[in-house]
Structure 1
């Protein structure tokens, strides 16, 4: 471990690309052990940083199996993680409870402590680079922007990071260090809490607000100076949260469940108090994103269906005719909304539709259209002898 292996390329069989990106990650299988890994392409200038990373063994970081030089390109073979990114969880969750946010923040800080102890700065901490495995373990992934702190430099040689999460110094104002990662983590906490960037709206959660404010201060001197310091505040906030919950006679399990279970628990507690508005955002196609233009189109569509469908049914003279017209209207106007608007997130459970590849998803949607039209054609054939109404 810790060395460049020029022969590693012959030890793996490529299975499939995991994204549509050029030089994106590829799923591979090791020929001798049959284990699955992810092959990622990195710039050659990151070689020393990745060698340092490879030497770190930590639960909250992916295991680096090998680093390989192949035809002038540097490839890293790392642990294949089964799970979801935090970005996916935030997108599919109505709310994320305080307890779950504090728990996942502690685990990100554990990963950052391990990196920072070796002088490494991640520089791209964001929900898309935080994964929750199927076993409930958090992993901080993707090291395209990783660098080693150099006290002799005033700014980073290469400015990298994601807009919205990157600290001011990542845009050339100063050199990044551990405090830059803590800035990004503060942004992540705010997004987990209210799905907004701190610059747009700060979370009012009493157990998170002050932590976010300190972590995202524009001046690094006024932020947390280390992951250990921030961790101490998170632990203290977690204690206050538990005491408040006890005083309110809320049943909090003493044994820590998996992070996704905690998110589910917090969501169920919140869902017991759902308002009509939040019900629409959770279940009604067109309202779940909260985007005004989508909600406007949804309202127009629902009004159209509410007026047009009963009028069409009224044309039936007998009970059977009315039932058939109801079924036909449902197939034409209601079924496609349920199918194509991902009602109850069922697309995640359907092959092709849950693929990360645009081509595969396109095939999935095409088959969905064919199935819908075929079902409607079969209905017409059965009810009208194949003749058009």
Structure 2
């Protein structure tokens, strides 16, 4: 048995004391780690603001000002997002939830007077345990100034930093949304948008968030979050119709009609009209399933076999096997229905 030390237990409170024994309630002294930051005094107003906030950021325990600013803040005992992604692949629903949590934090920061701009949103500065997110590292954060035309210091992480952070204009809320858009693309593809842009329904959101012109990006966390939650309302629309673009919708409609025409024009050799119909319907559904899997309808790929694997080949095999299983179950069910109808007719 592992032995502790008497000195590990403190604050004795008497429970029962007699001539030959004494019972006390004690508390175990457990060292709690904290983070200490020593910063220039110019950071004092920012960290004084942060200390007052009740949101998903490390809690500020104390501030001390002399010739430098000393900040003692909560130590977060969770993996960083980049570490979490090394062993986990997020589903689309998890990505949506993570981004919405991040936007909730930014909404609080941006609503302060003056607004707090983080300016360094990236996986390394986010703690994530699979459910809850904490945004950390405010070392290059700044307060937005109404009369400033550009940032006084050029800071930010390449790939995630908005163009204005490199001296073109003053960074603001839209600068943080730029980084959120980049992060969203990275969570889906593993790459920056400039290397590989995600092709799913979130593509338009990512493109707007990362527009080179800050005025054409999302202007508030609420607007950004509404765009994400709006995807859920339109996610039942068939592939080709979710974009709401007339050309794509027309092309998709013609494609579906062509599939129907081909399926129901095929020569179904059967003595029963019902059997012929179900056979043609089965052929159409097999083709239709290819469209659903190829377009990741309703994020169907996140439900396929091996979807959490880090290997692209393994995930691709999982998608193919899952498709074949679903197609087999569907055709078998239609065949069973045909037999049942035939038996009922006799």
TM (norm. structure 2) is 0.60
Q: 2:64·2:71 contact (CA, 8 Å) conserved in 1?
A: yes
**Deviation, structure 1 residue 97:** 1.8
> Separation in 1 of the partners of 2:236 and 2:93?
8
Q: 1:102·1:238 contact (CA, 8 Å) conserved in 2?
A: no
Query: Aligned residue for 2:216?
Result: 222
Q: Where does structure 1 differ by over 3 angstroms across 4 or more consecutive aligned residues? A: 32-36, 238-244, 265-270, 272-277
**Deviation, structure 1 residue 274:** 7.2
Return the index of the structure with the highest Cα Rg. Answer: 2
Alignment of 1:24-43 (within 5 A): 35-43=32-40
3-state secondary structure, aligned to 1:105: helix
Structure 1 unpaired stretches of 5+: 1-31, 250-264, 282-389
> Separation in 2 of the partners of 1:56 and 1:39?
19
* Residues 49-71 of structure 1 deviation map (CA, whole Å, 9 limit, x = unaligned): 1111111111x22211111236x
Compared with structure 1, are the counterparts of its residues 272 and 81 closer, same or farther at alpha carbon in structure 2 (3 Å cutoff)? closer
> Separation in 1 of the partners of 2:167 and 2:108?
26
Compared with structure 1, are the counterparts of its residues 243 and 106 closer, same or farther at alpha carbon in structure 2 (3 Å cutoff)? farther
> Separation in 1 of the partners of 2:304 and 2:191?
22
| Residue from 178, 187, 192 that aligns with 2:173 | 178
Residue 278 (str. 1) matches residue 331 (str. 2)? no
3-state secondary structure, aligned to 2:64: strand
Compared with structure 1, are the counterparts of its residues 217 and 109 closer, same or farther at alpha carbon in structure 2 (3 Å cutoff)? same
Query: Aligned residue for 1:213?
Result: 207
> Separation in 2 of the partners of 1:148 and 1:138?
23
Alignment of 1:328-347 (within 5 A): none
Query: Aligned residue for 1:126?
Result: 122
| Residue from 66, 79, 82 that aligns with 1:87 | 82
**Deviation, structure 1 residue 36:** 3.2
> Separation in 2 of the partners of 1:151 and 1:276?
48
Alignment of 1:1-389 (within 5 A): 35-58=32-55, 60-69=56-65, 72-93=67-88, 95-118=89-112, 119-133=115-129, 136-206=131-201, 208-241=202-235, 269=304, 271=306, 278-279=313-314
> Separation in 2 of the partners of 1:147 and 1:242?
41
Query: Aligned residue for 1:285?
Result: none
**CA RMSD of superposed structures (Å):** 3.3
**Deviation, structure 1 residue 238:** 3.2
Compared with structure 1, are the counterparts of its residues 68 and 97 closer, same or farther at alpha carbon in structure 2 (3 Å cutoff)? same
**Deviation, structure 1 residue 186:** 0.2
Return the structure number with greater relative CO, CA threshold 8 A, min gap 6: 1
3-state secondary structure, aligned to 2:212: coil
Q: 1:81·1:133 contact (CA, 8 Å) conserved in 2?
A: no
3-state secondary structure, aligned to 1:83: coil
> Separation in 2 of the partners of 1:92 and 1:138?
17
Compared with structure 1, are the counterparts of its residues 88 and 175 closer, same or farther at alpha carbon in structure 2 (3 Å cutoff)? same
Structure 2 unpaired stretches of 5+: 1-28, 239-287, 290-299, 317-346
Q: 2:119·2:175 contact (CA, 8 Å) conserved in 1?
A: yes
Compared with structure 1, are the counterparts of its residues 86 and 272 closer, same or farther at alpha carbon in structure 2 (3 Å cutoff)? closer
Q: 2:305·2:315 contact (CA, 8 Å) conserved in 1?
A: no
Query: Aligned residue for 2:325?
Result: none
> Separation in 2 of the partners of 1:41 and 1:138?
25
3-state secondary structure, aligned to 2:134: strand
How many residues are paired up? 231
